[in-house]
A and B are shown apart, each in its own frame.
Chain A
Amino acid sequence: MSKKIKVLIAKPGLDGHDRGAKVVSRALRDAGMEVIYTGIRQTPEQIVATAIQEDVDSIGLSCLSGAHNKLFPKVVDLLKEKGADDVLVFGGGIIPDEDIPGLKAAGIAEIFLPGASTEETIEFIRNNVKTA
C-alpha cells in the first residue's frame, strides 16, 4: 500500500473567503488524499509550522485579498529556512496573469485561477509530489 498523499490547504492573509479552499479540500478528499484545513487568516509562519509538524507532501495556498505576491513567496522562503523545501507549494485565488511568472520564479510550482477544474489540481498534485 503506498503512502497517502497529505496536503495542507491554508489561507494566508486577511480575507475571509474560504469557499474556494473548502471546495478544493473536498475535491482532494474525494480523490483519496488526506487534507489538513487550518481555517482563515493564517500567517505564513503558522502555515509552515503546521506543514512541518504534519509532514505534508504539499501545501495549497488560497488568497483572494491581493496580498499573494508577498504571502506566497514568504511561505516558500520559510520552508527553505526550515529545510523543508521538498514540500510542493501551489496557489489559487484571484491572481492577475502578470503576477504568475513572478510567483513561479519565487518557487510556487503552479497557480490555479478561477475556472480551473479540481481535476487539474488533483492531477497536478499526483504528478508532482515527492513521495509516491
Chain B
Amino acid sequence: MEDLVAGLLAGKVRSLAKAITIVENDLPGKREILKSIYPKTGHAYLLGITGPPGAGKSTLTDKIIAHLRREGKSVAVIAVDPSSPFSGGAILGDRIRMQQHALDDGVFIRSMATRSHLGGLAKNTVDVIHLFDAAGKDVIIIETVGVGQDEVDIVRIAQTTVVVMVPGLGDSVQISKAGVMEIADVFAVNKADRDGADKLLSELKAMLDMIKDEVKPEIFRTVATDDVGIDELVAGIFAHGKRVEESGLIEKKRRQKAENELRAYIYDMIMERAQGLEAYNDVVSRVAAKQETPMDGVEELFTELGIRIQEEKNAEED
C-alpha cells in the first residue's frame, strides 16, 4: 500500500490506476490511501461539464483537454456513464471522443459507472478526484452522465460548472425551469452552427436577465466538432474561477464541499453498521408491513448502535 501511495504521488500511471480501483470499489486499503494523500490535495482546478445526453459533452471535453495541453497543464478526466438498472453493467463510451489523447502522458482519463448512484455522478467520484489532485494534475474535468433536470451534484464539487446546451431540445419554458439550468457558472451553447442556436441564445440571455445575482453566468457559442469557440470558453471558465476566488466565495464553497463529503460518509458508515445489526431485517419487515414508521425503525436501530436521538417532545404534545 505504501508503494502504491508513493507511486501515485510520483505520478506513476499504474499506481494511480490501481489506487483508483481500490477507492472506486471500496476495497481494503481505501481509508489508508485517502489518509496518506488527503493533505496533499486542494491544488487542482475542478471543472464540471454537464448537460443533456448528446449535447456534445465528451467532444467538448476532448477539445478543452487539447487546449489545456497546449498551455502545458496536466489534465485528468473522470467520465461518468450510467449503469444499467437491470444488470448493473455499463457501457462506458465517453472515451471514444477523447482517444487522440490516449498516448499523451499529461492526460489521464478514467471512466466511471454510476452504479445506481443518483445525482449525475458515480458514488465515489469525490475520492477519485482526491487521488488525481494528490497526483499533481492541474485540471480535473468531471463529465457527468447525460442529465435531465435534477442531477446537480456536480455543482457541489466543481469550482466551475459548465452546462452544455444544444438547440432543439425544448422551448423557453424548459429554460426557465429549476435544477440543471440554475447550476451553470458558464453556459456553452454547442452545435451553434445549427438551426435554432440564435433562438436558444436569446432565450438564455432573457432568462439570465431575470437573475438578481451580481455575477451572471457567461454564455459561449461552440461547435466542438470543429474546435470553434473553445479558446473563448476556456478563458471564460478560468475567468469565472478567478471571480469566485476574489469574491471570497471560495471559502464558503470549500466548507460546503467538506460538509457534503462528511454527509455522504456519515450515511454510508452508519448504514453499514445498521445493516450489520441482527434487528435490521426485522425492522425492514415491520416497516414494509406498515406496522412501524421508517422513523421509528431508525430510532430502534440507532438505540442499538448507541446513537441517542433527541425527542421532539413539544411537537408531539397537543
Contacts and interface: CB of A to CB of B under 8 A. Distances in A.
Given A30-B87, A52-B17, A46 B92 contact: no
Contacts of B83: 34
Interface SS majority for chain B: mixed
Contacts, number: 83
Contact of B103 (A33, A49, A82): A49
Contacts of A35: 89-92
A55 B20 contact: yes
Interface in B97-116: 99, 102-103, 108-111, 113, 115
Nearest to A82: B14
A52 B89 contact: no
**How big is the B interface, by class?**
20 to 34
Nearest to B94: A36
B88 A32 contact: yes
A113 interface: no
A78 B257 CA distance: 41
Interface string B1-39: 000000000000110011011000111000000000000
A53 interface: yes
A36 B95 contact: yes
A35 to B, nearest CB: 5
Given A42-B99, A45-B103, A50-B102, A37 B13 contact: no
B249 interface: no
B99 A3 contact: no
B196 interface: no
A128 interface: no
B148 interface: no
Nearest to B83: A34
A45 B105 CA distance: 12
Contacts of A45: 102-103
Contacts of B294: none
B89 A30 contact: yes
B98 to A, nearest CB: 9
A39 interface: yes
Given A32-B88, A34-B89, A34-B113, A53 B13 contact: yes
A29 B20 contact: no
Given A32-B89, A84-B14, A38 B95 contact: yes
Contacts of A38: 95-96, 99, 102
Nearest to B102: A46
Given A53-B17, A54-B17, A3 B90 contact: no
A26 interface: yes
Given A29-B84, A55-B17, A37 B99 contact: no
Interface in A80-102: 82-84
Contact of B89 (A1, A33, A42, A54): A33
B168 interface: no
26 contacts: A3-B21, A28-B89, A29-B89, A30-B84, A30-B89, A31-B89, A32-B88, A34-B83, A34-B90, A34-B113, A35-B90, A36-B93, A36-B95, A37-B92, A37-B95, A39-B96, A42-B99, A42-B102, A45-B102, A46-B99, A50-B95, A52-B13, A53-B13, A55-B20, A82-B14, A84-B14
Q: Which 3 pairs, one residue from A and one from B, show the smallest C-beta to C-beta distance?
A: A29-B89, A39-B96, A46-B102
